[in-house]
């Protein structure tokens, strides 16, 4: 006999009843929060493209690549919530095991990369280039991708029936064990973010505080949901709470990512620079210590200055000829004769008549 759909659901597959079941409202509440998170995340991604031309500081502009990948990971976290509201089946179970670790590894890799870059900026050093930042994010995330793929290939190829029909307790332990690397990333990010408070530039410390608070709240969320998933639900005889616990962790951690980290970062993305707090963008190109160098003096100019001051022998001048010059007295007066005007025959004429 087919199970009648609960109130609020129509003729849909039984695996999707929690998405519309009014009596078990946790599914509707979580999917509403997840959908709102998806909308806000998409809006923030679009705002990043708009703010690229508004950012004046080159160091901040390089952070946009980190923000973009972090928002993609956050978008996936909100979307993965629906996989835990839907009943586990052949499609949702592999999706849970693979995407949960990969998406959180991507988010915490972005935070770790940002924290490493801030440790250089708070000390006034030149930050990483955008290409190095991308390589760090990919390298940190790729480790979890390899771990998840290896686990799924091993289970789906060799133990497919066991994997799809695994008992809840064994399933939860394998799920947590698969996330050990993510826990390592989280702890490392928390440690590195603490070193951002040791620099001299206060404005960069503010960004480090965003990472520190975000990871601190994330650690608290992860401790609670792992404890409930592994032991708490068994002690309370509430094995049906496994999926709600993980779904709540996904939604709450996604909103922590947005509220504690992403929104403040975007607000300070276009903030004007303060010269007393920020190292100027061109300051990284200026040499900190200029070593004084001594070259060989041009002796020609030095001796010429000595001669002009009336000191030294003029014959020592670098401009003097190699032979001694003497003044020559002229023996004969060689002059050019100048032409003289002839006397006019009428010079003495007075106008009278001469003798007859």
Determine, yes or no, domain membership for 335.
no
Asked if residue 173 lies in contact with residue 248, where contact means CB atoms within 8 angstroms, the answer is no
State the CB neighbour count (10 A cutoff) for residue 2: 5
Q: Is the dihedral of CA 244, 248, 254, 257 positive or negative?
A: negative
User: What domain range includes position 164?
Assistant: 14-281
How far is residue 304's CA from residue 338's CA, in Å, rounded to a whole number? 45
The parts of the chain modelled with pLDDT lower than 50 are 1, 280-293, 356
Q: How many domains does the chain have?
A: 1
Determine, yes or no, domain membership for 127.
yes
Determine, yes or no, domain membership for 159.
yes
The pTM score is 0.75
Q: Which tokens go with 105?
A: 């590894």
Q: At how many degrees (to 10) do helices 242-256 and 92-121 cross?
A: 30
**DSSP secondary structure code for residue 258 in this structure:** I
pLDDT of residue 284: 47
Question: 334: which residues sit within 8 A by CB, 6+ positions away?
Answer: none
Determine, yes or no, domain membership for 256.
yes
Determine, yes or no, domain membership for 77.
yes
Q: What is the pLDDT of residues 220-259, one digit of tens each?
A: 999 999 999 998 888 888 877 888 999 999 999 999 999 9
pLDDT of residue 321: 55
The CATH number of the domain where 259 resides is what? Answer: 1.20.1070.10
Determine, yes or no, domain membership for 96.
yes
Determine, yes or no, domain membership for 100.
yes
Q: Residue 132, SS3? A: helix
How far is residue 193's CA from residue 183's CA, in Å, rounded to a whole number? 15
Asked if residue 86 lies in contact with residue 18, where contact means CB atoms within 8 angstroms, the answer is yes
Closest CA to 26 of 256, 238, 177, 262: 238
Q: What is the pLDDT of residues 65-85, one digit of tens each?
A: 899 999 999 999 999 999 999
Determine, yes or no, domain membership for 103.
yes
């Amino acid at each position: 006999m087919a199970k009648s759909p609960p109130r609020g659901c129509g003729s849909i597959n039984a695996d999707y009843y929690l998405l519309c079941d009014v009596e078990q409202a946790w599914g509707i509440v979580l999917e509403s929060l997840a959908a709102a998170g998806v909308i806000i995340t998409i809006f923030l991604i679009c705002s990043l493209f708009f703010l690229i031309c508004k950012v004046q500081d080159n160091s901040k502009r390089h952070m946009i690549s980190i923000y973009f990948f972090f928002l993609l990971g956050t978008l996936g976290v909100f979307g993965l919530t629906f996989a835990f509201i839907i009943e586990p089946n052949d499609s949702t179970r592999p999706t849970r095991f693979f995407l949960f670790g990969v998406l959180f590894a991507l988010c915490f890799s972005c935070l770790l990369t940002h924290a490493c870059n801030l440790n250089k900026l708070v000390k006034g050093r030149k930050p990483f280039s955008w290409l190095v930042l991308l390589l760090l994010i990919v390298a940190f995330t790729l480790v979890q991708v390899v771990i998840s793929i290896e686990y799924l290939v091993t289970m789906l190829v060799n133990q497919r029936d066991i994997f799809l029909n695994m008992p809840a307790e064994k399933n939860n332990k394998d799920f947590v064990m698969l996330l050990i690397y993510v826990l390592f990333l989280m702890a490392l990010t928390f440690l590195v973010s603490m070193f951002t408070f040791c620099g001299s530039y206060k404005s960069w410390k503010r960004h480090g505080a965003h990472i520190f608070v975000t990871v601190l709240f994330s650690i608290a969320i992860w401790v609670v949901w792992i404890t409930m998933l592994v032991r708490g639900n068994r002690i309370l005889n509430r094995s049906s709470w496994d999926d709600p616990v993980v779904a709540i962790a996904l939604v709450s951690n996604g909103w922590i990512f947005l509220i504690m980290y992403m929104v403040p970062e975007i607000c300070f993305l276009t903030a004007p620079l303060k010269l007393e707090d920020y190292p100027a963008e061109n300051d990284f190109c200026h040499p900190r210590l200029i070593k004084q160098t001594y070259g060989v003096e041009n002796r020609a100019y030095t001796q010429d200055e000595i001669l002009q001051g009336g000191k030294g022998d003029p014959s020592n001048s670098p401009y003097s000829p190699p032979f001694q010059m003497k003044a020559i007295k002229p023996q004969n007066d060689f002059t050019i004769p100048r032409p003289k005007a002839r006397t006019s025959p009428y010079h003495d004429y007075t106008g009278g008549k001469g003798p007859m």
